[in-house]
Structures are given as C-alpha cells and as structure tokens.
Chains A and B, each alone.
Chain A
Amino acid sequence: MHDSSTQPVHHQMVEPTGFIRKHVFSLDHKVIGKQYYGLAFVAVLTGMLLSWLMRIHLAWPTVPIPLLDKLSPNGAPGGIITPEYYLSIMTMHATIMVFFVLTTAPFAAFGNFLLPIQVGAEDMAFPRFNMMSFWVTFVAFLVLVASFFVGDGPPLAGWTSYAPLSAVGAVAGPGQGTGQTLWAISIAIFCVGQLLGSLNFITTTLDLRTKGMSLARMPLSTWGWFITSVIGLLAFAVLLPACILLILDRTAGTSFFIPSGLVVNDQTLPHSGGSPLLWQHLFWFFGHPEVYIAILPGFGIISTILPAFARKTILGPRALLGSMISIGFLSYMVWGHHMFLSGMNPFSAILFSVPTLFITIPATISVLLWTGTIYGAKMRFTSASLFCIGFVSVFITGGLSGFFLAQPSIDTYLHATYFVVAHFHFVMAVAAMFGIFAGTYFWFPKMYGRMMNEALGKWHFWLTFVGVYCIFMPMHYLGLAGNVRRYASFTDNYLVPLIPVHKFISVAALITGAAQLLFFFNLFWSRFRGEKATDNPWEATTLEWSTTSPPPFDNFGGRHLVVYHGPEEYGVQGTAGDYVMQTSPEQIPPANAGKS
C-alpha cells in the first residue's frame, strides 16, 4: 500500500494518448466505470442465457436444446439437460448475476463513473487501486466462466455454495471437483477487487469533495454508493476468509465445514469435526449485506433521478438518507433469517426475525417518500422516470413477501420454495436491474454524449415491467403450493398440476428476455447514431450536469467548482428555469427554498 499506487491524483492529470493507457489499463475513473459496465453487460447476457436454458428445460424437459451438447456432452447429452447440469446452470446464473451484474453495475460501474464527478473531484483518491479493482474483478469473472470448460463443468452447489456439498470435492458429483474450486477462487479474487473499490469510494467521498460540497449537500446517489462501499468493506472482508477456508477444505485436507463420518456416494470421507453450519454463518454474514450492496445504489439512483422528472424536491431527503443508513446498519444483524431451517437454535431464529422486521420500517419510509414525491407532481414521463416508478413498484411487491418470509413459523413452510425465488427476484434482482436501467437512460447522455432513443426505451420499459410480473408473480402461487426450488423436473403427483404455470412463466421469461434486445440495440445504436446530447438535457441539478457531455479527461476542464446548494432545488424560481443547479451562485427566494 505504500508504493506509488497511493500517490495523489495530480500525477496523472495529463491525458494519456496510447490506446492501452487510454482504454485498457486506464486510470481514468470514467473509463473504469465504463469497463465495469461492459463487464456487467457481458455477464448479464451470460446470466440471461442461462436463465433461458433453465426455463426451457423446466417447461419442455424433453425438447433438445441445440448446441448445448457441444458445450457439455456429459451435462446435456443430445441437448437434454441432466438434473446435475440443471443445478450447474442455476449456480452459474445466480453467481454471475449476484456478483458480476448486481454488484458491479449499480455500484462499481455507475459509482466509478459518477461519484467523483458528483462530489466535484477530478478522479478517485487512488486511481491505481481503481484500475486494479476492475482488472482483478475481470480475472475473477474469467476464472468463474472457465468452470464451464473444465472437468465435469461448473459447480452445482448454488451461489451460496453450502457445505458440505461444496467442501468435499469431486466425490460429491459433477462440477464439484475443479469447477467448485474455481468458484471459490473466483469469489475470493472478487472480494479483493471489491475491497479495493470500497476503500477508494469511501476515501474519495470523504476527502475529495469540492468547495461547498458538504456531506449534507451530497446527492443521494453519492450517499448510496458511499453507504454501499462501507457495507462492502466489511462484508467482503468476511467472505474472503470464508472462501479461503473452503479452498483449504477442498485442497489441503482440512475439515472446517465437513462433519465427522460423512458418507458421500457410498464412500466414508476421512474428514472429521467440522461444521456445515459454520459456512452458513460466515457466508450469510456476507450474504445478507450483499443484498443491500445490490439494492442501495438503486435507492440512491432513484432518489436522484425521480425529482429531476417530478420537477419537485424529493420528499424528506434527510429521512430518506436516514433510512438508507439504518438499512445499511441493520443489514449486519439479520443474516440468520436465511438459516431458520438450518438446525440453528430456534431462539436465535426469533433473534434474527425481529431485526429483519425492523428493516421494513426504513424500507417503508423510503417507499412512501418516493411515492410522496411522485404524488401531485407534473411528471415528465421518460424511459428513465418510468424505470424509477417501476423500481418503486417491484420493490414494494418484493418487500411485501418479505414480511411473510421474515417470520420463522411461516418460513418453515415457505423456505426453499418458489415463493422465496419470487421474493428475492423482485426485491433484489429486478429492483436493482430497474435501477440500472433508470441509471443508464438517465446518464447515457453524460457517458457517451448522445441521447438514447426514447420510443425504444418506453417499449423496453412496458415489455419488461409487464414481463417481470408475469414471470415472478405466479411463482408466489407455486411456492404456496409447495413447489420446491432447484428441482430440475416436476414428476411428483402434487407438482404435475403446476406444470402449466411453469410453461406460462417460461414463455414470459423468453419474451421478457427478448425484450431486452430492444435495450441492447438502443445502447449500441444510440452510442453511434443517437441525437447529440446537451450538457444538461434533463434540467437536473447535480454536478455532473455542470460539465460537458461527455466530461473532459479531468471532469471539469481545469475549473474548480464551488457548490452553493443541495441537490434538491427543483420547483423553485431560478434563472435557468424551475430549478437551481448546485453550482449556481444565485440566491433562492426563501419562500421557494428547499433544504439546501
């Protein structure tokens, strides 16, 4: 930590000209942000294809899938997915989506591109760490994807990699040899990358704010990334040793997570004395905060974008910030609610249930403040604002099922059913994706200097919005009917009547997935052919709109901005219109003033 990598930023304020320095090993936070976005883009395509494979197999288990037997002759002989390979696909879908999409896109991609600009800095505090953070994450992704092409294919223990299945090695089945080891290595590397990123985000936010940008005047999006990096700093620091212990169990003969006398595939294992429960504790101590790592940047993004289209001050910005902070704090006290049925003491289940229900309080406050902001507003309906409203909708839907799951008595029945799948997809996955979409439509002009196509964007929104409800809403009923998740086919008597529901979900998933092609096309088309963007196309107040689109290498062209207002000055009489930018020195008439 003491070499030149911690040198302050002014060393690299000369724009590099070589291709490698400019676009590959760049120290520029904007390029690194785009690189993270690109990585998330590749990852989300992979993850979506995998979800298609799962849905096709569940609905039409006998229909061969072309080319799949080329990828894995053992996993999909003749294009028919085996139950084990189904689990591998599910594991890879979840791991890729959670780590390489929901963590990288809303946090690392948008955070990198925008956080320094929003606080008025020229770059991150430690540009070299920043570059390392991306490339380390990239290597982690390659290591994970490599598991498709080694040994028996990818691991099948799920993204939670529960021990002892994940710890005992190849004896446990296909993918549990090299594939599972690669998984553990990949996630350990990923932890290092995210730790570097978190360290950088926190230092930048605290130390590199421009004159007048007090903590109270920071946009809520900056707060979202800041709180997320604090959570990430402590969460990934726990997952890292957990993965190392798992690797030791798998390769060095230790038994941290493997109990005595375990018999797998008629073989008595030599391990003794470990505890599978220990893995669950270590994993979920990371895993629950990870859920908020995925969603809190979305909170911030929505809270920043929504007022720009509602043309009014966000309701209760302090309360919203307080909610975000308390959600971050509570995220460390609830990990056991994933373990109600793990054999843990039932009294600890109550202990974890109560703070879980507490989280609904700040979550509900946030939702009410967003809806209150929309209430009575003359909304400008753009793709970005539609996705903000969609975010609030899916977050409420997913949050409601959380009330049920948080209670041990109800969870005893619903645990590991499709009800849970519906819950976390709505509240974490789809909500975070909507945050990513809203952010993309909103900041694309700033990132690439061109507007995205609004008509395509609106089609994309409506198809996606209706689509995700068609996919995940019926899963609640499947869960209530006792449909256990992770089953590769439904042959039991009580499951057979549910197959039509699964077919409906699969069709919806295929259509909704295909609708994302509109988004992908829009991204590439607008990148080159989109209408030229002005500096401030949305008439927004935050600092990134005070510079050119896209911003110059040092963000503000050598200017040192001074901030005079908070980011909430919408619906006031300003010289530019019904808003006052943070950098505008003008006075706001007291009757109109927001909370600056």
Chain B
Amino acid sequence: MSESEMTVGIGHGPSMEASPFAIPSKKLAMWLFIMADAATFAAILFAYGFLREASPNWSTPFAFSPTILNGMIMTVVLLTSSLTALGGVQAAKAGNKSSCMRWLGATILLGIVFAVLHLREWFKMFDEGWRLFQNPTGGSAQFGAAFFSITGLHLLHVISGVVAIIIVALGYNRGRLDAGHVETTALYWHFVDLVWMFVFPLLYLMNAH
C-alpha cells in the first residue's frame, strides 16, 4: 500500500496538496470507473424493468432444476472468487508473492468456471430456440433480448476481468506491477460480483415459474 502511494503524486509528494481521499490515483480512477459502470448497468436494468412492466405476456421459463440450480452454483462460484481475490490482495500486501499467485490463480480458475457454466446454459437455451429476438415459449420476445444482453454484458465483464487478473498476476510475479495494482484489479472483480447479485435475482429468480 505504502509502496503504491509513492508511485502517485509525480514523485514530489511533499510539494502536493493532499488528496481528499487517502487512496492512490489509480484506485480513485477505478472507483470512478465503477461508478460509471454502475450507471451503465443501472440503465440497462431499468430498461429491463420498463419492458417487463410494459409486456402483458412476460415469460417465466426457468425451472428450479437445471436453470436456477445452475445459477446458484454460478453465484457461489463468483462469491468464492471474490474471497480468493481478497486472499490475493492480502498476500500481495504482505509481500508473499507465491501465496498471492496461488490466490489469484484460484480466482482466475473460478472466473473461468463461472464463464463456462454461463455459456453452457446459453447454448442450451439456444438449442431450445431462444434468441435475442425469439421466445420459443410464445411469450414476449423481449425476454430473450433482455436476458441475453444483460447477462451478456455481465459475462463480458467477467471475461475481461479474468484477462485483467491474468495480466496483473503475471506482471506482479515479474515485479513489474505492485500490490496496488492487485488491489485495484480486485476492486473491479468485487464490482463484477456485486453486479451479479443484482442480475441473479432480477433475471433468474424473478423469471422462475
């Protein structure tokens, strides 16, 4: 932490006015990005709610098994990955490189498991005839549009998060990046997790029959 603070402030810390937030610039920028991204998800979830309200024939196609069960497993996987990311940050702050790499490795693995479970479910739905613009159960076609675009946007965040963690883990291992980078990336990962805590109830649980 202290090391990462030294990298901010253009190398003349004492000649600077203190930041109102006691965090490095990179971390502040990540918080700002998270705020903007939260607005993006809020907008698209608002659109979902709006369309759902406006559709008299909204579908609730999900059965407990396999869809909701699969979603619950995905939720557990993602929550666990947040925990392992936290372990990575703790290890990095303690300067324990090999421990950090193990924690981050577990996070990457769990992220990939989440994406695979998600895609497997998507492809099963494609086989049943679901499309962005098509509802095989005869209900509102908006279901596919909302479901695939929102979960797709989230999946995109998961995949880019996995890629980011891989890059940061490699950089940290080589000593090119520091604990601050690990922490900032973990911040993003927690946000992706948090968004899922909205997506899962709104798009899965509310659409279970």
Chain A residues in the interface with B (C-beta under 8 A) = 1-3, 6-10, 13, 121-122, 125-126, 195, 198-200, 202-203, 206-215, 233-234, 236-238, 240-242, 244-245, 248, 252-256, 271-275, 277-278, 281-282, 285, 560, 562
Contacts and interface: CB of A to CB of B under 8 A. Distances in A.
Interface in B9-66: 9-12, 14-17, 19-21, 25-26, 28-30, 32-33, 35-37, 39-40, 42-44, 46-47, 50-51, 54-55
A209 B9 CA distance: 9
A208 B10 CA distance: 8
Given A3-B167, A122-B10, A560-B12, A203 B17 contact: no
B28 A207 contact: yes
Contacts of A6: 25-26, 29
B29 A1 contact: yes
A10 B149 contact: no
Nearest to B185: A2
B198 interface: no
Given A8-B9, A255-B133, A282-B47, 19 more contacts: A1-B29, A2-B167, A8-B11, A9-B10, A10-B11, A121-B10, A122-B10, A198-B32, A203-B25, A207-B25, A210-B16, A213-B17, A234-B36, A237-B37, A241-B44, A248-B145, A256-B142, A272-B141, A274-B51
Across the A-B interface, give the 4 residue pairs with the lowest CB-CB distance, nearest first. Answer: A253-B133, A237-B36, A237-B39, A209-B17
A237 B185 contact: no
Given A3-B167, A203-B32, A281-B50, A248 B132 contact: yes
A252 B30 CA distance: 32
Of B25, B30, B177, most buried by chain A (CB within 10 Å of CB) is: B25
A231 to B, nearest CB: 11
Of A203, A211, A248, most buried by chain B (CB within 10 Å of CB) is: A203
Contact of A238 (B16, B28, B40, B55): B40
B25 A8 contact: yes
A163 to B, nearest CB: 12
Contact of A208 (B16, B42, B188): B16
A528 B11 CA distance: 37
A536 B83 CA distance: 56
Nearest to A239: B43
Contacts of A2: 164, 167-168, 171, 177, 181, 184-185
A206 B185 CA distance: 21
Nearest to A6: B26
Interface string B130-165: 011100000011100100010001000000000010
B50 A8 contact: no
22 contacts: A6-B25, A7-B7, A9-B10, A122-B10, A126-B25, A199-B29, A199-B33, A207-B25, A207-B28, A212-B17, A214-B17, A237-B39, A238-B40, A238-B42, A245-B47, A255-B145, A256-B47, A256-B51, A256-B145, A272-B141, A273-B51, A281-B50
B73 interface: no
A248 B141 CA distance: 14
Contacts of A240: 40
Contacts of A121: 10
A233 B47 contact: no
B8 interface: yes
A278 B47 contact: yes
B141 A8 contact: no
Nearest to A275: B54
Nearest to A217: B17
Contacts of B40: 237-238, 240-241
Contacts of B10: 8-10, 13, 121-122, 208
Contacts of A122: 10
B38 to A, nearest CB: 8
Nearest to A119: B17
Nearest to B26: A6
A339 B145 CA distance: 25
Contacts of B184: 1-2
B205 to A, nearest CB: 22
Contacts of B131: 253
Contact of B43 (A213, A242, A274, A562): A242
A237 B132 CA distance: 23
Given A2-B167, A203-B25, A233 B51 contact: no
Contact of A275 (B19, B37, B51, B188): B51
Contacts of A238: 39-40, 42-43
A207 B8 contact: yes
A60 B51 CA distance: 46
A6 B47 CA distance: 33
A202 B42 CA distance: 22
A234 B145 contact: no
Contacts of B14: 211
A278 B32 CA distance: 26
Contacts of A254: 132-133, 145, 149
Contact of B32 (A3, A233, A273, A274): A233
A1 B33 contact: yes
B184 to A, nearest CB: 7
B20 A206 contact: yes
B163 to A, nearest CB: 10
A234 B32 contact: no
Given A3-B167, A8-B9, A211-B17, A255 B141 contact: yes
Contacts of A206: 19-21, 28
Given A1-B164, A2-B185, A6-B29, A211 B37 contact: no
